[in-house]
A and B are shown apart, each in its own frame.
Chain A
Amino acid sequence: MSNTTYFHHHDPESEGAKASCIDASVRTPVLLLFGNALHWLLIASVLALIASIKLVAPGFLGNVSFLGYGRLSAMARDLFLYGWASQAAIAAGIWLMARFCHRTLGGVLLRTLINSAVVLWNLSVLLGTLAILAGYSTGVEWLEYPNWASAMLFLSFLMIGIWVVCLFDRRAGIESGGRAEPALWYLVAGFCCFPWVYGTANLLLTWKPLQASAQGAVQGWFCNGFVILWLLPIAFGCLYGLLPRLSGRHLNRQNLAPLGFWLLLLFGGWAGLARLIGGPIPAWMTSAGVVAGVLLLIPILIVMMNLSGLRRRGEKENIAWQFLSAGLSFVLAAGVLEALTALPGISAFARFTWVTASVDLLWLFGAVSFPLFGVIYLSLPALLGRECWSTSLSGLHYWLTFSGLCFLTVILILDGLFAGLALLDPVVSFLNITSYSQPFHVLEAAARLLLVAAAVIVASNFTRAVAAKRLFPKK
């Protein structure tokens, strides 16, 4: 019985709005969010490429020395986090929630509010980035935007998020006691966690900073929380919602899904403390972080159990399916790597090297971005009411992103392991270790070039698709 209530395939259309009406109602904000997100991704990728070239040739663009590695890497990361990943997650959340709940975005007032929130979000990203460039960075990693820019971002999120969360209670079928499907839990949880995580961290680190002795634990908590409590639930919402629908099959071992959901939220909050192993926080905190980092594997494995069996039945040619399915694999890879690096024995040499960066990369670029790309490829034809993607460009985008990401991850891990193990021996001088890393830095720049190419392709594919609509309006 309960199997059927999770899915709305055979839902009476009368109970909720028709898919085409829903799409029409959310078209403007979702297109704006996705379009801006893809362009920020492109800029972020270019800045990250320049930063990695600077590691190979510190004199590159040397005459503009204020455009140094420190500012470039902060700008690139924040553009990725707020310009791309968060923005695309909001767009995916709006579209999927409206679709899965069978509700339109109604009312002129609400539409205006949401559209202005989209503008405000992008304005904050732009101004925050320029502020870093101009030297107004807060110096807190992942929260470099000055306090006014982060406050604007926060406000803009609330303007959209409240509506999205409230859809949960307005979903079709709720009156007849229909239970919500796992995709909805994850989407709502993500939208609730963003204000908590981002608001708390900004309040205590940039708006009204704590005494610095207390900042370390909050910093670690924030970085992991931002990924595991906000972005990852949205990615899981995409996977849980779309993989069953695209494959036409039910989840496997569905009864485990609630456990996976609650454990993810529980351990996700604590795992960040493992980033500070050996650091200036009480020992019980790092121990809790280690335990949570390893136990985080349980919810990840449950997600794999629920979803990975569906993959064999999908249409392999479908580009959205390819991205979603690869995203699921990256979830497992990132979870395993996170658990490994949370072990004190490994952290002792891997911490402070590129190994740490590779874990974040796998979460953000693999586990989060791939499902979001999947949603973009799936939603656009529905929103525009026509086939709009160039298949050759889409395929090229998939292969460039996939190979670029895998290549970059491997390079970062190898570089980190070499440097980390060499650092253990105090006889090897620091500058020697830097010189061992140079060949890796060259390869890293090459991998980043692939990712820039991928970002160019997907951004132009998107622009082309949307522009074509204006040239040939719908019949």
Chain B
Amino acid sequence: MHRLSTFLIGILLVFLTSWVGVVAYSSSRLGHLDPIADADTGGSLPPNLQGDAIAGQRVYAAEGCIACHSQQVRQTSVTGTDIARGWGVRPSVARDYLRDSTAFLGSVRLGQDLSNVGVRLPDAKWHYRHLYHPGSVCEGSIMPSFSHLFEVRKIQGQRSDQALDLTGVDAPKAGCEVVPTAEAKNLVAYLLSLRHDYPLPEAPVKKAAGAK
């Protein structure tokens, strides 16, 4: 290690092992997976995302939900906990992320895993109330409020059918209502789209699951 050129070649070669093994392999193999035809519906798996759910991913990124939520159900060979907790019916595989613009795998779970939150909690109204004030639907939640994704406005004539049914401290002043902004709607559309309960060839779904 006397001259820069020989030294740099050495560093390059060592660096290339992980670079080729991890980065190049991922982008060439995993980066070109195709959806699978769904025999039951004639659609494809994973299903296509609607426009509002795609836009919702940007809100998910902007608000930093990934700081507290993961989106991956771990292999049962490592731990059965994720499935036992009802966070999914099968482990996540690479193809599950095909429709996403960013893979929000996450590294911390201060909140639950969200890969199947659309299966678990399919009600948009619940999500709006939860996002507006998590503590109101989950006593003792440490999830922050995302009330800036909502708008408080005067009721014009009829109360909007999108207005949140809020009670107690959250209830708006008389004559006012709380409605979700476009961002909140997109985010909730995205959350509802998070359902990976279909079988894939590399990830079959076992039927008799005692999940709760």
Binding site for B on A (CB under 8 A): 54-55, 58-59, 62, 65-66, 68-74, 132, 135-141, 165-166, 168-169, 174, 177, 179-180, 185, 188-189, 192-193, 196, 200, 204-205, 209-219, 221, 225, 229, 258, 262, 265-266, 268-270, 272-273, 275-283, 285, 288, 344, 347-349, 351-354, 356-357, 423-424, 426, 430-431, 434-435, 438, 441
Contacts and interface: CB of A to CB of B under 8 A. Distances in A.
Nearest to A200: B23
Contact of A219 (B5, B61, B103): B103
B30 interface: yes
B179 to A, nearest CB: 16
Given A426-B84, A434-B142, A214 B72 contact: no
Given A139-B104, A210-B31, A269-B19, A262 B141 contact: no
Contacts of A185: 1, 7
A270 B16 CA distance: 11
A444 to B, nearest CB: 12
Given A70-B144, A266-B14, A270-B21, 17 more contacts: A65-B147, A68-B145, A69-B68, A139-B61, A185-B1, A196-B19, A209-B101, A211-B32, A213-B31, A214-B27, A258-B1, A278-B79, A281-B26, A424-B81, A426-B84, A430-B111, A434-B142
Contact of A214 (B26, B67, B70): B26
Contact of A70 (B63, B99, B142): B63
A58 B142 CA distance: 6
B102 A262 contact: no
Given A139-B102, A265-B15, A58 B144 contact: yes
B92 A280 contact: yes
B92 to A, nearest CB: 4
Given A69-B64, A213-B103, A218-B23, A431 B146 contact: no
Interface stretch (B121-129, B131-139, B153-161): B131-139
Interface of B: 1-5, 7-8, 10-11, 14-15, 17-19, 21-23, 25-27, 29-33, 57-58, 60-68, 70, 72, 74-75, 77-79, 81, 84-86, 91-112, 134-135, 138-148, 212
B72 A426 contact: no
Contacts of A189: 11
A193 B11 CA distance: 9
A254 to B, nearest CB: 13
Contacts of A137: 61-62, 64
B26 A210 contact: yes
B79 to A, nearest CB: 4
B97 A280 contact: yes
Nearest to B82: A278
Contacts of B63: 68, 70-71, 135
B85 A430 contact: yes
Contacts of A219: 103, 105
B109 A353 contact: yes
B196 to A, nearest CB: 10
Contacts of B92: 279-280
